[in-house]
Every structure is written in C-alpha cells, then in structure tokens.
Structure 1
C-alpha cells in the first residue's frame, strides 16, 4: 500500500473493519510485535528502506496496513516520546519511496487531480518545452503533473507562492513539489492519528504497550547521540517563549467569566504536565509517579499560576481565595491547600484540554499562530517546538564541534 492514509487504504479499512478501533483490536491476533517492527527497524542500519519493503503484493496489502496501524497504536502510549519522531520519519521515507516506485500520487491522502486547462503557451514556458538542450530527464521534472484546490494547497505549503503556477483557483504542481506536499500532509495526519488514539489507549490490548517498549529501544538506538547530549524527554525547566498562544493569553490575565477556566483548568494542567511529566507513561499518572517531592510545584508552577490569577480583572485569588484548593484538586491532590506527596492520586491529575474544548469554553484564548497547524492539544504544540529547538541545538553543536 503506497499510502496508509490514502483513499484506497481508508476504504479497505472501512470495508473490512468499519473503524480504526476495531482494526486495532484485530491486529494482535494477526501479526506479532516483530512483524510490526519490520516496517521501521531498517532505519537503525540504513538511510533508505530495503527493497523487500518497497513492493507489496496485492494479497499482502491488508497485512501491510496491520503493521503500520500497529505502530500507531503503540505510539498512543508515548505520544510525546522520541518513538513518535522515529516512526514518523521511517514511515514517511518508506511510503515516499513506494510512491516514487509507483510513479503516481493518485489515491493518496492529497486532494489532487491530473493537471488540466493550462494554456499551451504557459505550459511550454513553465516546462521549458522549447529548450532543446534540456535533457529528457530534466524536462520530465519540469512537467506540471497535478493540480490541487488552492485552499487545500495553502493549508500545507510552507514556501513562497511565487514558486507556484496558480490558475482559476488551483495550484499546479510538478512531481517533486507534489511529493514534498505529500510528506507534509503525511506527517500532519500521522501526528493527528497518534493524538486521537491517545484518547482511547486504555481500550487497547497489552500488545501495543509491548510494541511501544520495543520502539523505545529502537528510537533510543537511532537517536543515541542526541540523547547522550540532551538527555531523555522528562522533567525540564519551562520555556515560556515556546508556549502556545492560548497559554500565553491565560498568563496575561483574563476578565471575569473566563478566570476559572483559563487559570484553574488550562494553566494548571498545562504547566504541570509540561514541567513534570511531558510524556506520561499512562493516562492515570499521578504527580508522585513523576517527582519525589513537591518543591517544583510550590516553587516554580504555583507562583506562575498565582501571578496569572492576580493579573485577572478582578484578581482571581482575592475574589475567590478557595480557588487555591481547586488548583491542588486539578493537580490530583484532592480538595486541600496543604497537600503532601502521598495525597497525590486523591483526585484526577487533569490533562490539558484539547484545542476544540478551549475554543468552545474560552474562545478568546484561541489565537492560532503558524505552529498551531495540525495540533490538537496545547501540550503537543509546546513539546513539538521544544523538540525542534533541541534538535537545532544538537545539530549546531555537532557542526561547531
């Protein structure tokens, strides 16, 4: 299957299983952990996928999809870990190679169609068809192969529109441009799928947790140098400059009517997970599973929350002093203002609300920027930007060394 998110793959899943959750329940009885890993294991030894993974017999397409969706199910147990980056990178390379071998993107997740209605004069200029000295291979690369509705194209494209031929509401694309666009669309759909499956991971069989453990080993091997330099993802000082717009708005203080949601619900959950447990090992994680004392909360997290509350109009904790107890309640310590570490687990440690819930409950906080594309949770936004910064720092250090 050239594209596991493509229309052909999705139709196959709907026809055979009805939905993704039913598919994930079926997978453990059909393939083993090692078979699922075969889709990505090659990346620890090679920069290119092996030939045996590039051509899949039609009779094996469903089994091939099992392997890919098994990996997604495993990543639901580590949605912010290095495993996600490892699998995303490996599968994007693999499926791009399959598409290049097929020579067509039709039926993929991109809403494209063959390039049509290009005036002959424009086509000749754009494809440099009149240049007799141009090698045949280069002429093929210059051909306008597909077109895509401009509105869909703009959602994905991160380059200049000056590079693109646009006519009557369509963007016309060469083969390499379309492949680049497919990769961006694949990575976004990949992250979205992991985020969605995180919501149902408690319903998934133990098979996926075992698979995640193996993926962690492979990812650790692949990113060994980076991990040695930066350390594994865990409790780290907060980077306020990388916070999502909604959190930055909450930190400024908000008017009455939004205070409890912005401060108690959003800020408390976001700051605590971002600082203490950015990659929670399970959904019912407790603070005491991540830290050995409460000093980080009392000295770093709580002061930020109280300052933001004091910036509200009127100040939240002057107006509602009991709300401090509610802060601890949302951190999982029960309704108290003098918790101990052993109280952790007396209530639920609330995970940051998803973006759609923030838009519904506090739309004034939602002011998306370019990094919000494809993000469903403010913690995802922060951890993605943090990972990019760390990768950049690691690469810069390697170059300077």
Structure 2
C-alpha cells in the first residue's frame, strides 16, 4: 500500500469493513503487537526504512493496512505524547520511500494529475530546456510532473506562491515539491485521525492500550537524548509565544458574554493541561496524578488566569468574585477557593474544548493562523509547535557542535 490515507486504501476500507471502527475491531484478531510495531521499530536502528518494508505484495496489502491502523488505534490512548511524533515520522518516511520507489502519486491522498496544459514556451523556460550544460539529473529535478487544484494546494503549501507556476486553476509542481506537499497532507490527515480516534478510545479493544504501552517505550528510547536534554513536556514552563490564537485572544481579556467561556472553560483547561499533563494517560486523570505540590498551580497557572480575567470588560473577578471557586471546580478540586492536593478529583478536570466547540460557543476567539491547519484542539496546536521548536533547536545545536 503506497498511502494508507489514499483513495485505494479508503475504498478498500469502505468495501471490506464499512467504516474505520469496524476495521479497528477486526485488527486484534489478525495482527500481533510485534507485527504492528515492525512499521516503526526500524527507526531505532536506521535512518531509512528496511527493504522488507518497502515492497508489499498485493496479497499482503490488507495486512499492511491493518498494521498502520493498529498504530493509529494505539495513539488514541496517547494523542498528545511523543508516541504520536514517533509514529508520524516513521510512517511518513516509510510511505514516502514507497512512493519514491514507484515514482507515482496517483494512488495517494493528494488530488494530483499529470502536468498537462503548459504552453511549450513556458515549459522550456521553467525546465531550463535550452541549457545544454545542465546534467540530466538536474534536468529531471526541474521537470514539472504534476498539477493539483489550486484550492487544495493553497491549504497545504507553506512557501511563497511566487515560487509556483499557476495556470488555469492548477498549481504545477516538480517531483520534490509534490513529495513535500504529500508529507504535509499525510501529517495533517494523521493528526486528524488520531484526534478523532481519541474521542472513541473507550470503545476500542484492550489490544490498543497494550500497543500504546509498547509505543511509549519505543518513543522514549528514540527521543532519549531529547528527554534528557530538555526534560519532559509536562515539567517545562509555558511558552506563551507558541500558544494558539484563541488562547492568546482569551489572555487579552474579552467582553461580557464571553468571559466565563474564555477564562473559566478555555483558558483554565488549556493552561493547566499544557503545563501539568499534556499527555493525559486516561480521561479521568486528576491534577494530583501529575504533580505532588499545588504551588505550580497557585504560582504559575492561577495568576495568569486572574490577570486575563481582570483584563475583561468588565473585569471578571470583580464582577463575579465567586468565579474563582468555579476555576478550581474546572481544575477538578470541587467548588472551593481553598483547595488542597487531596481535593483533586472532587470534580472533573476539564480538558480543553475542541476547535469546533470554540467556534460554536465563542467564535470571536477563533482567528486561525497558518499553524491551525489540520488542528482539532488548541492543546495539539501548542504541543506540535513546541515539538517543532525543540527539534529545530536540536538541529541548530548539532550544527554548532552542541
């Protein structure tokens, strides 16, 4: 299977199983933990996928699809952890390598077509056809291979449109550019699938929870140096500059009518999970499961919430002083203004609302930026940007010998 999110794969799932949940119910009887892990375990030993994973016989395509979706099911139990980054990176590299070997994107999730309809004069200029000194290898890199509808292209492309040949409602792309575009599309579809499955993880067989435990071990080993150097995400100070736009809007203060949702619902849940437990092991997690001292809440999280509330018009906590108790209630301590750590669990520690709920309840907060593409929850936005910053920092450190 060249692309587990591609048209051929999705048609196979519909034809054989009807929907994804039925497929996930069938997988544990057909795939072992080791078989599923084989799609990603190679990352611990090699930078490139092994030969045995690059060629899949047509008779084994369904089993190959089982292994990939088994990993997605497992990630439903760890939707914000390093396991997601580990599996996303491994499978993206694997399926890209398969696509490169076949030199075709016809079966992929991208709606691409052969690059037809380019005037000959334009093609000669763009492909430098008259430059006789250009080696054939370089000529091949310059050839426009595919075209993609501009409406789909714009939603994925992060570069300048000046670098792209556009004609008749299509963007025309060279092979390397279309591969990068595929990677973007794959990663977004991957994250969306994990987010959707996390909402139904209680319905999944126990097999996936066990697989999640094995993925946690592999990801911990793969990211060992990063964890030792940077510490786990849950122990680091908040990076306000990496917050999603909706949270930044809430921090500015909001008018009456939006205050309770922006401050008590969104800001309280986002700040607490982002700081204390970005990768909750289960839905009923409590703050006392994540920290042993309430000072981090009282000194780092609560002051930010109160400051944002005071910026509201009128100031939330002057207008509604009892709302402090409601903050603690949403943090899981019950309706109190003097909690102890042992009170954790007296109420539900509310998880950040998904983007669609924010748009429905407080549309003024939703001002998407380029990083919002493919994101379904503000916590995902923050953790993805945080991971990219850390990875970028590691690469720069490596370049400098650090």
Which TM class, normalised by the smaller chain length?
Answer: over 0.9
Partner of 2:212: 212
- Once the two structures are superposed, what CA deviation does each residue of 1:124-158 show, in whole Å capped at 9, x if it has no partner? 22223344444444333322211111121111112
Equivalent residue, structure 2, for 1:323: 323
DSSP 3-state at the match of 2:235: coil
Q: Tell me how far apart the structure 2 counterparts of residues 91 and 103 of structure 1 sit (CA, whole Å).
A: 18
Question: Is residue 2:279 matched to residue 1:290?
Answer: no
What stretches of structure 2 of length at least 5 have no aligned partner?
A: none
Q: Residue 239 of structure 2 aligns with which residue?
A: 239
Q: Residue 38 of structure 1 aligns with which residue?
A: 38
Q: Is the 8 A contact 1:235 1:278 kept in 2?
A: no
Asked if structure 2 preserves the Cα contact closer than 8 Å seen for 1:75 and 1:84, the reply is yes
Q: Distance in 1 between the 2:123 and 2:100 partners?
A: 23
Post-superposition CA distance 1:201-230 (Å, at most 9, x none): 121112112111211221222222222211
Q: Give 1:393's aligned residue.
A: 393
Aligned to 1:40, what secondary structure does the other structure show?
A: helix
CA RMSD of aligned residues (A): 1.4
1:111 aligns to 2:111 (yes or no): yes
Render the CA deviation track for 1:325-346: whole Å, top value 9, x for unaligned. Answer: 2111111122222222222112
Q: C-alpha separation between the residues in 2 aligned to 1:29 and 1:96? A: 28
Report the secondary structure of 1:9's partner residue.
helix
SS at match of 1:313: coil
Q: Does the CA-based 8 Å contact 1:156-1:185 persist in structure 2?
A: yes
Q: Say if 2:127 and 2:144, in contact at 8 Å, map to a contact too.
A: yes
Counterparts of 1:337-356 in structure 2 under 5 Å? 337-356=337-356
1:9 and 1:274 map into 2 onto residues whose CA distance is: 35
Matched, 1:64 2:64: yes
Summarize the alignment of residues 369-380 of structure 1 with structure 2, pairs less than 5 Å apart: 369-380=369-380
2:2 and 2:107 in contact (8 A); partners too? no
Structure 2 CA distance, aligned partners of 1:18 and 1:358? 31
Maintained 8 Å contact 1:192/1:374? yes
Is residue 348 of structure 2 the alignment partner of residue 361 of structure 1? no
Which residue does 2:162 correspond to in 1?
A: 162
2:147 is paired with a residue whose SS is: strand
Aligned position for 1:14: 14
1:219-255, Cα deviation, whole Å (9 max, x unpaired): 2222222222112232321111211111111111111
Query: Take 2:128 and 2:309, find their aligned partners in 1: how far apart are those partners?
Result: 62
Task: Tell me the SS of whatever aligns to 2:313.
Answer: coil
Which residues in structure 2 correspond to 1:225-236 (within 5 Å)? 225-236=225-236
Structure 2 equivalent of residue 257 of structure 1: 257
Match of 2:224 in 1: 224
> For 1:335 and 1:18, how far apart are their aligned partners in 2?
45
Are the aligned partners of 2:165 and 2:171 in contact in 1 as well (CA < 8 Å)?
yes
| Per-residue CA distance 1:180-217 (angstroms, 9 max, x = gap) | 11111111111111111111112111211211121122
Distance 1:263 1:134 in 2: 60
Q: TM-score with structure 1 length normalisation?
A: 0.96
- 2-structure distance, mates of 1:40, 1:353: 31
Distance 1:228 1:161 in 2: 40
**TM-score normalised according to structure 2 size:** 0.96
Shift in Å at residue 59 of structure 1? Answer: 1.1
Task: Supply the distance in 1 between the matched residues of 2:221 and 2:265 (Cα, whole angstroms).
Answer: 38
- Unpaired runs of 5+ residues, structure 1, are none
What is the aligned residue count? 401
Alpha-carbon distance in structure 1 between the residues aligned to 2:368 and 2:100: 35
